[in-house]
Structure 1
Amino acid sequence: MRLVASLLLGSIALAGCAGMSGQGAGNPKPIAVSQLNPTQGNKTGGAVSFVQNGDRILVDARVDGLTPGLHGFHVHEKGDCSSPDGMSAGGHFNPGSKPHGGPDHSDRHAGDFGNLEADANGNAVLKLSIPASQVSLSRDASNSIVGKALIVHADPDDYKTQPTGNAGKRLACGIIALQ
């Protein structure tokens, strides 16, 4: 599956470049990707793409190696996946100092992406459209997710426990990078 994830990332980059050709050299769509790698003792991995389309950031996540059911999915404040348990990524990305919440809550961390839902085979696909006012793919923006870590958790996000959503241990970690 790691080969499939690598191929997916390559396809995302190529598709993004092909989509830029009609926009002119001065106005390409920002594209970022994250390769999710398992934390120690886990087998979860996958690929996530982020594409800016006007005033929205389109997120396409494909994750495997999960137990069936819901799993918290968040952007974390540090671009560091070096610790075996993923804790080096820090807490949720929260530049607006908001309370934790679900994707439909108006007041929430910028990094609160909700839950992935894994099927019986442990595979999850999630597509989100997030306001660019919430997160940015511009390196210099205060709400930029570029260089931050993306984490898949063992348990569902309950959307209320502060500040984590009680989503449990970190199964996979990946750094979000511009393409």
Structure 2
Amino acid sequence: MKLWIVFVVCAGFLIGCSGDKRSPLESPIYNVDGDRIGTVTLTEEAQGVGVKIKAEGLEPGPHAVHFHERPECNGPDFQSAGNHFNPKKADHGLMNEKGAHTGDLPNVEADESGKTDVELTLSEATLRDGQTSLLRDKGTSFVIHSRQDDGMTQPAGDSGERIACAEITVKANEDPTTDPTEADKNKE
């Protein structure tokens, strides 16, 4: 009887019996110079994944933000993150009737001092196992772009260069202060 209760409790939480903590999940955001400029915090919610973005050092104005298909933030251009996270093979754009990618989010606004502090919801995604999990395979990445997303243009909304990136993995909670570029150097 007690074993059954433990199983039900573990199955009901994202913190599984293996000690794998998935929610909340906080990852550091780095700019093209390798400076840590903020954090993205993901939380499993009934309506999807809550996304809290806190960053500074951005150009004032609107910026596109998306989740990309690989957990790789190799600077200076972050092309290693791959394309938008799109496991359902949809078109890009929140305004596109044939879209959107699972990783498409509304634009965020950086204030006059270059800061943004916003909470969004990624309704198609999950942190649990499955096709639309941001943690499937090895994980994904979160990318901030230089311009706003127009919500329609393929494949990325004419959102400009990738100017900041965070690797989204289960291990992100283990050491959120680790600079991913330093970790890459240590692998060599």
Is TM (by shorter chain) over 0.5?
Answer: yes
Aligned twin of 2:140: 148
**Paired AA for residue 41 in structure 2:** S
Aligned twin of 1:169: 161
Q: Structure 1 residues 154, 115: closer, same or farther in 2, change over 3 A?
A: same
Are positions 1:125 and 2:117 aligned together? yes
Aligned runs of 1:90-105 on 2, under 5 Å? 90-102=82-94
Aligned twin of 2:28: 35
Aligned twin of 1:47: 39
Give the SS at the match of 1:57. Answer: strand
Q: Give the Å deviation of 1:25.
A: 5.4
Q: Give the Å deviation of 1:142.
A: 1.4
Q: Distance in 2 between matches of 1:169 and 1:130?
A: 22
Give the SS at the match of 2:153. Answer: coil
Are positions 1:75 and 2:67 aligned together? yes
Give the SS at the match of 2:64. Answer: strand
| C-alpha RMSD over aligned residues | 2.3
Aligned twin of 1:65: 57
Count of residue correspondences: 153
- Which structure is higher in strand share? 1
**Paired AA for residue 137 in structure 1:** L
Gaps of 5+ in 1: 1-23
Is this contact kept in 1: 2:102–2:122, CA < 8 A? no
Is this contact kept in 2: 1:34–1:150, CA < 8 A? no
Gaps of 5+ in 2: 1-8, 15-21, 174-188
